[in-house]
Structure 1
Amino acid sequence: MSVVENAPVGLRVDKDGSARRVPLTVDQYGSPIGMLCEQIGCQVVQLVRLAGGLDLWLDEEALVFLDLNDRAAVTAAVNPVATMIASRTAPLRQPIFGVAVFLGGDGETSAGLSVEQLDELERLVALSTEIVARGQSLAAHVGGAH
């Protein structure tokens, strides 16, 4: 799916830290829920309002199917990059699981990201991805892979 120049977009962040711009499409009622469910890969999404006019949409079903006692499963489900970005502006009770989509928001409705928001989010994705990679490298080294 390509993004048309000057069309409203969101930023999809996958569990591996990769990010891509996605077109914001709405249904006949002006709701982006269908597009978000498709991008995230679930039937039910959850909204987390962040500071700075950002909305974070995530997989509401993730916890239903996740065994919280299975440390490996929890680790595999966490989206560390989205969690790091969201925790900068919102108190999170848990990490972000699965694919996350950032949109702009005015406190009532979600909208496409502004150029400034998109630039800042892409910068934060790059920084967070680097931090996660360094942490994994350090963990491998400390864990005996020297």
Structure 2
Amino acid sequence: MLNGIVIDQEGTLSTVQIDSTTSQTRLAGMYKALDCDLVDVVRLADGIDCWVDDEGLYNAGFNPVLTRMTNRTRFTSPLLGAGLFLGVNEATGETVSLTAEQQAVVVGWWRDATSGALAVAL
């Protein structure tokens, strides 16, 4: 099982577990978590990836919270729809669970992105 964090279209944070038994079950879990049919990855700092709907431009609206969160470590285009944060083994590129430390980092980004001062900045 992969442990991750989802930020939905409204900016709400929730935890998620994804079956990683096979690449097919992993993709199916990612599709379900993001409510989509295709995914793409935004590579962030410290072994954290943000997976998004590859067709978000057509299927979803702008997600200001997710965009502010990902902009903490690198400038990204505006992101649309939900985002799924998972870890990555930087040596192999394999998708892995977020560590406890990475979970705390993502939650910190979310807190910053949803606080009054930063929320008005975007």
Distance in 1 separating the partners of 2:96 and 2:49: 9
Q: Which string of whole-angstrom CA distances, capped at 9 and with x for unpartnered residues, describes residues 64-109 of structure 1? A: x26xxxxxxxxx71111111111122231x2110010000112301
Question: With structure 2 as the length reference, what TM-score do the two structures score?
Answer: 0.84
Distance in 1 separating the partners of 2:86 and 2:42: 10
> Do structure 1's residue 82 and structure 2's residue 76 form an aligned pair?
no
Q: Does the Cα contact within 8 Å between 2:86 and 2:98 map onto a contact in 1? A: yes
Distance in 2 separating the partners of 1:56 and 1:132: 24
> Do structure 1's residue 97 and structure 2's residue 91 form an aligned pair?
no
Runs of 5+ unmatched residues, structure 1: 1-6, 67-75, 137-146
> Do structure 1's residue 44 and structure 2's residue 38 form an aligned pair?
yes
The alpha-carbon deviation at position 134 of structure 1 amounts to 5.3
Which residue matches 1:143?
none
Q: Relative to structure 1, is the Cα distance of residues 78 and 135 closer, same or farther in structure 2, using a 3 angstrom cutoff? A: same
Distance in 2 separating the partners of 1:133 and 1:48: 21
Distance in 1 separating the partners of 2:87 and 2:111: 19
Which residue matches 1:55?
49
Which residue matches 1:120?
105
Q: CA RMSD in A?
A: 2.3
Letter in 2 for 1:84: R
Q: Relative to structure 1, is the Cα distance of residues 15 and 29 closer, same or farther in structure 2, using a 3 angstrom cutoff? A: closer
Distance in 1 separating the partners of 2:79 and 2:50: 10
Question: With structure 1 as the length reference, what TM-score do the two structures score?
Answer: 0.72
> Do structure 1's residue 111 and structure 2's residue 96 form an aligned pair?
yes
Letter in 2 for 1:111: V
Bigger radius of gyration: 1
Partner of 1:126, secondary structure, is helix
Q: Which string of whole-angstrom CA distances, capped at 9 and with x for unpartnered residues, describes residues 89-142 of structure 1? A: 2231x2110010000112301111000110121122122112478529xxxxxx
Q: Please list every run of at least 4 consecutive aligned residues from structure 1 whose deviation after the TM superposition is greater than 6 angstroms.
A: none
Q: Does the Cα contact within 8 Å between 1:26 and 1:34 map onto a contact in 2? A: no
Greater CA drift, 23-32 or 49-58: 23-32
